[in-house]
Each structure stands twice: as C-alpha cells, then as structure tokens.
C-alpha cells in the first residue's frame, strides 16, 4: 500500500509517498480502507521533531483518518464489514489502509460524507472537550477563539453558537473575516483584539488558546473574573532543534502562568490533548456520543474547501499550506491520488 513514512525530522521536502506492507488485523483490530486523512498542526510539529507524543521513528504519519471497515479480528463484535469509522491516534492516518484497535474506532455521523468525516474528529472533539468538559461553558457567556478560521476555530465557533454563547474570533488576515462572520462570530485581528474588546467593556469568560506568545499573554490579561483559558495548541512556535536560540524563543512562546495570578484573579488555566485521553475510552465515548447529538440537532458541519484537499503525493505542500496559515477550516489528504 501507499503511505507517508517519517524516518527523520526536517522540513516539508523530506515527505514523500512510499510503498509498504500491511498485515492482517489482530484479534482486537479492524482494518480500514482510508477514504481521506486529516492534516493537523501536530503533524507538522511531529515532522519537525517537536511533538513529544510522536511514536519512535520510523512510523506512518497521520493522527486521524476516516475509512470503511474491510476486515476485522476475531474478538471484534461491535463493528461489521462496511461500517464507517473515524479514527484518531498516534500514527497511521497518511496511508491507503490502516489497522487500528477497535477501541479507537469512533462512529461516524450518518449525515456526513467521507470528506466531512475526515475533517470532523480532531477539530470538533477537541473543541467539545475544551468547551464542555474543561471550561464547562454556560449559555450567554462570552467566548474568545484564537485562530478562528482554522479547523479547531471553525468547529469551536459552531459549537459555541449552538450553546448560545457570544463569540469573538481572532485571525491574522482580514480576508478570513467573512468566514468567521458567516459562522456566527465577530472577527478581530491578533494585533488589537484586546484593546477592541476592552474599549467595548468586554472581557471573555472563556478563551480557546491556539497561538501562544504575546497573543496568549494579552488574552489572559483581559480574562473576566472566574474566566478560563483552555490551551489546545501553540501555532506561534517556530523552532529548529539545531538552533538553541530558536528553541529558547519557542519555550518563551509557550503559554504559562503562575499560581499567584490564578489565585489573585480567580481565573483558570487548563489544557486539552486528545492523544493522552485515548487510553480512557470510558471517558471519551460518552462525550463523543453527546457531541454527535448536538451536531445532528443543529446541523453542524466541518468547514472544508475543495482546494484544501490535496493528493497524498502532495503531503509536503499540504503541510506548508497550514504552516503558512493559508487554510480556512480543515486540510485533507486523498490517499487515492
């Protein structure tokens, strides 16, 4: 089968499609024919050697995919050949086929096509956990979403709107304002979002933090009393492991706070990493099923553009597309091309 195997860290030019073998699924596994693979910023960090959750190289890249069950092990009783499945895990998504443990197979929304299934898992579930399990948001609270036009950002806006929240979303480009507005949020620029909000006597009750650096610092300063920051990513990190100064700047960009600031201001700082929760399906699955009910009730769908779907042979171009902040919504790979 065709797959993208990461053997060393480096820039996007090291990525290519190669041929590799796949075994039959073990007794607790299912085998998927991958329809589309999701591309995440974490994949870019993994390629650069900056993602601590990555498995030992060499490995097939890709944290998520959507596919059809074509084979299964003898102990698999809850899934059948032909079932549609969404997968999220440490590796394996950038391939034509993948074997996964049955516990990592999540039911796909019946109303979604294959592209939507592949664009849905990481973005919406990260947003759902951040909003409802961590921040415990309430109706009519004010939410600030950073990277609002990205995959997680567009999902967060939709889920927050379904929960009757007042939503503001930041972006680096005014060309993305319309996307943010159409989803139901007020767009703001990174450069002055804090002064814009304060000038209108607005302090967010919750911030979904995806950038880090100065953006995080200014956001935390304007957080309302009893407000919560939920860290889901740090896209401002630009580091080269061979350059100590670059690594220092990356460390400086990481969001951090002190117990004193948290206590004196009665504000919360927390984080979400779905990967480390995969070992606890008893916690994840009920939350996933609850989210699916909301998705269906409000007819929510991931944001995907046709020009954001790349052949798997152009995986490096897809990585650069995200790294240069050109994407609106989700970026996918088509393993058939």
Number of domains in the chain: 2
Question: Measured between alpha carbons, how far is 4 from 312 in angstroms, rounded to an integer?
Answer: 8
Looking at the fold, whether 130 and 92 belong to one and the same domain comes out as: no
For 87, 97, 151, the CA distances from 47, given in Å and listed in that order, are 20, 21, 19
Looking at the fold, whether 210 and 245 belong to one and the same domain comes out as: yes
Q: How confident is the model at residue 129 (pLDDT cuts 50, 70, 90)?
A: very high
Neighbours of 163 (CB within 10 A): 18
- The CATH number assigned to the domain holding 35 equals 3.90.180.10
Q: Does residue 280 form part of some domain? A: no
Quote the pLDDT of residue 241. Answer: 61
Question: Measured between alpha carbons, how far is 12 from 4 in angstroms, rounded to an integer?
Answer: 12
Overall average pLDDT of the 40-62 stretch: 94
What is the domain range of residue 180? Answer: 123-273
Highest mean pLDDT among 156-165, 212-221, 236-245: 156-165
Q: What percent of the chain has pLDDT over 90?
A: 84
Q: Does residue 75 form part of some domain? A: yes
Looking at the fold, whether 191 and 161 belong to one and the same domain comes out as: yes
Element (H, E) at 308: strand 304-311
Overall average pLDDT of the 286-303 stretch: 96
| Phi, psi dihedrals of residue 142, rounded to the nearest 5° | -100, 130
- The CATH number assigned to the domain holding 164 equals 3.40.50.720
Looking at the fold, whether 130 and 89 belong to one and the same domain comes out as: no
- Chain centroid to Cα 317, Å, comes to 19
Q: Does residue 278 form part of some domain? A: no
**Backbone conformation region of residue 10, classed left if phi is above 0, alpha if psi is from -120 to 50, else beta:** left
- pLDDT of residue 142 exceeding 90, the answer is yes
Question: Measured between alpha carbons, how far is 183 from 172 in angstroms, rounded to an integer?
Answer: 17
Looking at the fold, whether 88 and 197 belong to one and the same domain comes out as: no
Neighbours of 81 (CB within 10 A): 11
Looking at the fold, whether 89 and 138 belong to one and the same domain comes out as: no
Overall average pLDDT of the 56-81 stretch: 96
Q: Does residue 317 form part of some domain? A: yes
User: Can you spell out the DSSP letters for 9-42?
Assistant: ---GGG--EEE---PPP-TTEEEEEEEEEEE-HH
Looking at the fold, whether 85 and 226 belong to one and the same domain comes out as: no
Question: Measured between alpha carbons, how far is 294 from 155 in angstroms, rounded to an integer?
Answer: 12
- pLDDT of residue 242 exceeding 80, the answer is no
Looking at the fold, whether 37 and 170 belong to one and the same domain comes out as: no
Query: How do residues 76-92 score in pLDDT, each as one tens digit?
Result: 999 999 999 999 999 99
Q: Mean pLDDT for the chain?
A: 93
Quote the pLDDT of residue 109. Answer: 93
Looking at the fold, whether 44 and 177 belong to one and the same domain comes out as: no
Quote the pLDDT of residue 282. Answer: 87
Looking at the fold, whether 55 and 155 belong to one and the same domain comes out as: no
Question: Measured between alpha carbons, how far is 64 from 260 in angstroms, rounded to an integer?
Answer: 38
Looking at the fold, whether 190 and 83 belong to one and the same domain comes out as: no
Looking at the fold, whether 102 and 216 belong to one and the same domain comes out as: no
Q: Does residue 287 form part of some domain? A: no
- pLDDT of residue 237 exceeding 70, the answer is no
Q: Does residue 281 form part of some domain? A: no
Q: How confident is the model at residue 248 (pLDDT cuts 50, 70, 90)?
A: low
Q: Does residue 78 form part of some domain? A: yes
Q: Which of 257, 273, 289 is the last residue of a domain?
A: 273
Q: How confident is the model at residue 291 (pLDDT cuts 50, 70, 90)?
A: very high
Q: Does residue 130 form part of some domain? A: yes
């Amino acid at each position: 089968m065709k797959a993208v195997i990461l053997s060393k860290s480096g820039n996007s030019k090291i990525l290519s499609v190669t041929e590799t073998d796949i075994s039959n699924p073990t007794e607790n596994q299912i085998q998927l024919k991958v329809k589309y693979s999701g591309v995440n910023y974490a994949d870019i960090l993994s390629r650069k050697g900056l993602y601590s959750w990555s498995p030992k190289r060499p490995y097939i890249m890709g944290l998520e995919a959507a596919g059809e069950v074509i084979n299964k092990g003898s102990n698999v009783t809850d899934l059948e050949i032909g079932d549609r499945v969404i997968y999220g895990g440490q590796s394996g998504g950038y391939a034509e086929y993948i074997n996964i443990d049955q516990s990592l197979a999540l039911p796909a929304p019946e109303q979604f096509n294959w592209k939507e299934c592949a664009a849905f898992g990481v973005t919406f579930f990260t947003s759902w956990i951040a909003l409802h399990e961590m921040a415990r948001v309430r109706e009519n609270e004010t939410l600030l979403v950073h990277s609002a036009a990205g995959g997680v950002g567009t999902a967060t806006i939709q889920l927050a709107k379904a929960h009757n929240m007042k939503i503001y979303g930041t972006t680096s480009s005014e060309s993305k304002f319309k996307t943010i507005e159409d989803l139901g949020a007020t767009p703001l620029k990174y450069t002055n979002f804090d002064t814009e909000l304060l000038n209108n006597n607005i302090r967010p009750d919750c911030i979904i933090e995806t950038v880090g650096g100065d953006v995080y610092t200014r956001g935390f300063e304007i957080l309302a009393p009893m407000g919560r920051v939920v860290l889901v990513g740090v896209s401002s990190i630009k580091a080269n492991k061979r350059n100590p100064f670059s690594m220092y700047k990356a460390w400086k960009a990481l969001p951090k706070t002190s117990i004193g600031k948290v206590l004196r201001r009665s504000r919360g700082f927390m984080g979400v990493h779905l990967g480390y929760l995969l070992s606890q399906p008893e916690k994840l699955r009920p939350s996933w099923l609850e989210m699916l009910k909301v998705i269906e009730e409000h007819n929510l769908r991931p944001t995907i553009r046709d020009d954001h779907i790349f052949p798997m042979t152009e995986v490096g171009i897809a990585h650069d597309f995200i790294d240069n902040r050109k994407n609106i919504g989700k970026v996918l790979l088509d393993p058939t091309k």
